[in-house]
Chain A
Amino acid sequence: MESFTFRHTTQKPLAGTKAQAITGVVASGNLEVLLERVLPADQCTIEIATPVVGYGDVWEAVAADFVARTQPGGLRIAINDGGARPDTVSLRLAQGARLMEGGR
């Protein structure tokens, strides 16, 4: 197992008031993302636990792109990875953000 924590400063808080959401399942090629609105509005942390060792730079890039695109200020995001591919990670992060915004 390998774990990372990435801390980002955001320009704005994520919209919505939902306190917590979870999406995805820990299964082969999949992951779960837990999002909690517990941080200051200009902060976002992304914690990752993955059984696939050696992809730290990819995780870092995926997390940075997500933060840049979504501006998830205020969120503590935790990921349990089941060996998902980066595109699946991006998708789940986007799904999680939409849930927190109170979207569909």
Chain B
Amino acid sequence: MTDWRKQRTARDERIAAGRAHASGKVVRHEAVVELLEAVLRPGDRVCLEGDNQKQADCLARGLGACDPGKVHDLHMVQSGIVLPEHLDVFETGIARRLDYSYSGPQGARIAKMLYGGQIELGAVHTYLELFARYFIDLTPNVALIAGVSADRAGNLYTGPNTEDTPTVVEATAFKNGVVIAQVNQIVDTVPRVDIPGDRIDFVVEADKPFYVEPLFTRDPAAVTETQILMAMMAIKGIYAEYGIRRLNHGIGFGTAAIELLLPTFAEKLGLKGKIATNWALNPHPTLIPAIESGFVEQVHCFGSEVGMDRYIAARPDIFFTGADGSLRSNRAFCQTAGLYACDLFIGSTLQIDLQGHSSTVTTNRVAGFGGAPNMGSDPHGRRHPSDTWMKAGREAGGTGDPALRRGRKLVVQLVETFGDGLVPAFVEHLDALELAKKIGLELAPVMVYADDVTHIVTEEGIANLLLCRDADEREQAIRGVAGYTEVGRGRDRAKVEALRARGIVRRPEDLGIEPLDADRSLLAARSIKDLVHWSGGLYEPPARFRNW
């Protein structure tokens, strides 16, 4: 007779083994290693929660301290490779195989370990893809997650940084997996129940609060005149022209400049209420002036941001908050929102090629792209119209019956022609291709493919790729905004001028913008302290961003 409950039985055995180190569900942090050694089996698929923000760091240290004789050959399936411990386990043999999304600070080390064969790589996903695969073919056997507090029954309060947790728990707990949560504190009653206790098997009271990276804090003091000029062009040449109301921003200084120009430059253009009202966005501190000025109607968040909690709690009309008053974020839902319900994504990149493919991968770093490829793509499953979407669709043109033409999502690359150290952003060939060859990747790590990108904004101007009708026009439009890079200097000047006459390439003067007006006095806030003032003292920036 077929045993239909093998997984369930195995799960029960794991939990029984773990209970030996627990009091009910509660485990002391000193017992983490024993707990993990009792619960984990060689070859397990394990999700060690960590994304670009919050980290289950106490459990990560515990996993790293396990005996590789007992715990080995794990298959890590997690969105973020961020802490050194995330890679240490591959050096000791505790883990062998990896599927992930983002590895910002560890990008160089990952590349080295991939090259050295210490990591067997499955794939580098987008967040949504990896979450999707949790439910199809990468379902975790054990999930190690992080929350702010839990009660003894396991009811979990994630706090404002809910992020990946509901998705990870959903996939693990309902498919015979074991869920272990680290919390900062065990309490009698949690402020709100983000994850019901019957999905949590063990709760570890961590030795210190879980780490959160202030990844989305951009100091206005560092915004340059060039970035302000580009932001002015984006607002006037794209936001205003397409009437962008629903959008997502990347995390660079260029988009921070846009946020800081909304209450000043955009307001003067009479754009309040007409652009940038509905957002899929982390709570960027640089959005505070726009919110306070009444530009913003609502914001749904992937995660939270260090120091923003009190401000968010005081603005429930803008943010999604729970009955306890604090932010409820959710990475999977917000990624979905960014993909299907936003008309524009604007972000930065390190390299763009002659057709408009872009990547943040360089020859010695495999950073992963997190959510950018989803945000920065035109979802073919979209079926609801908006003026913005339809206008872009019309510009893209195409053959066949116009009544059957769908709209287009605007995907804008906001990029300075030269990056740090005078490295050109425009290249003939992406380094990503070189890297893929070097470490044997089947699919080159491209962030946004050329057929998804609609506009490129540089300090030299805007290239509208929707209006290009062939590959040559496209190449010259890109060269036409590539400044003094080799790609830019290699332009056919006559062709670029012809594109300019058709509005495909537009210079600041074509938009009625004087580059010498691009001044820091246009910024609604010029320092972190200005942001604190805008927030009425509610924003509490991390110490490293203070200068008072």
Q: A and B bound?
A: yes
> Which residues of A pack against B, CB within 8 Å?
52, 55, 57-58, 61-62, 83, 85-88, 91, 94-95, 98
**B397 adjacent to chain A (CB < 8 Å):** no
Chain B residues lying within 8 Å of A86, measured Cβ to Cβ, are 417-418, 483-484
The answer, among B483, B489, B516, for a CB contact under 8 Å with A87, is B483
Which residue of B416, B417, B422, B516 contacts A95 across the interface (Cβ within 8 Å)? B516
Could you tell me the distance in whole angstroms from the C-beta of B507 to the nearest C-beta in chain A?
A: 11
Q: Tell me whether A88 and B422 are in contact (CB under 8 A).
A: no
| B417-436 contact mask (Cβ, 8 Å, vs A): 1 or 0 | 11000100000000000000
Considering the chains assembled together, what is the distance between the CA atoms of A87 and B418 in angstroms? 8
* A85, B418: Cβ atoms closer than 8 Å: yes
- A61: chain B residues at CB < 8 Å are 484, 489
Best-surrounded residue of A83, A86, A94 (most CB of chain B within 10 A) = A86
Nearest CB on B from A22, distance (A): 16
A81 to B383, CA, bound (A): 53
Show 20 A/B contacts (Cβ-Cβ < 8 Å), sorted by A: A52-B422, A55-B422, A58-B484, A58-B489, A61-B484, A85-B418, A85-B422, A86-B418, A86-B483, A86-B484, A87-B417, A87-B418, A87-B460, A87-B483, A87-B484, A91-B225, A91-B516, A91-B518, A95-B516, A98-B516
B105 within 8 A of partner (CB): no
Q: Is the CB of B416 within 8 A of A87?
A: yes
- Tell me whether chain A's interface is mostly helix, strand or loop, or mixed: helix
B443 to chain A, nearest CB (A): 33
Q: Does B217 contact A (CB under 8 A)?
A: no
Q: Does B515 reach chain A (CB closer than 8 Å)?
A: yes
Contacts of A95 in B (CB 8 A): 516
Q: Say whether B418 contacts A94, CB under 8 Å.
A: no
The reply on B377 being an interface residue by CB < 8 A is: no
Instruction: Identify the B interface with A (CB < 8 A).
Output: 224-226, 416-418, 422, 459-460, 483-484, 489, 515-516, 518
Please determine whether B515 and A88 come into contact, CB atoms closer than 8 angstroms. Answer: no
Are the C-beta atoms of B484 and A62 separated by less than 8 Å?
yes
Alpha-carbon separation in the docked complex, A55 to B421 (Å): 12
The 10 tightest CB contacts between A and B, nearest first, are: A86-B484, A85-B418, A87-B459, A58-B484, A87-B226, A61-B484, A87-B483, A94-B516, A61-B489, A62-B484
Chain A contacts of B483 at CB under 8 A?
86-87
Residues of A close to B518: CB separation below 8 A: 91
- Give the chain A neighbours of B460 by CB distance below 8 A: 87
Knowing that A58-B489, A87-B484 are A-B contacts, what are 12 other residue pairs whose CB atoms are under 8 Å apart, sorted by A's residue number? A83-B422, A85-B226, A85-B416, A85-B417, A86-B417, A86-B484, A87-B417, A91-B225, A91-B518, A94-B515, A94-B516, A95-B516
Q: How far is the CA of A95 from the CA of B516 in the complex (A)?
A: 7
Chain A nearest CB from B288 CB (Å) reads: 27
Residues of A within 8 Å of B515, CB to CB, are 91, 94
Quote the shortest CB–CB distance from B23 to chain A (angstroms): 56
Distance to closest chain B CB from A80 (angstroms): 17
A52 and chain B: residue at smallest CB distance: B422
Q: What residues of A have a CB within 8 angstroms of the CB of B416 in the complex?
A: 85, 87
In the bound assembly, the distance between CA atoms of A87 and B460 in angstroms comes to 8
Residues of B within 8 A of A52 (CB): 422
**Once the chains are docked, how many angstroms separate the CA of A6 from the CA of B128?**
54
Interchain CA distance A88-B460 in the complex, whole Å: 11
Given known A52-B422, A58-B484, contact A88–B489 (CB-CB < 8 A): no
Shortest C-beta distance, B348 to chain A (Å), equals 15
- Name the CB-closest residue of B to A62: B484
Once bound together, how far apart are the Cα atoms of A55 and B224, in whole Å?
22
A88 near B226 with CB under 8 A, answer yes
**Least CB distance, A26 to chain B, in whole angstroms:** 16
Instruction: Compute how far the CA of A91 lies from the CA of B227 in the bound complex, rounded to whole angstroms.
Output: 12
User: Bound complex: CA of A61 vs CA of B493, how far in Å?
Assistant: 14
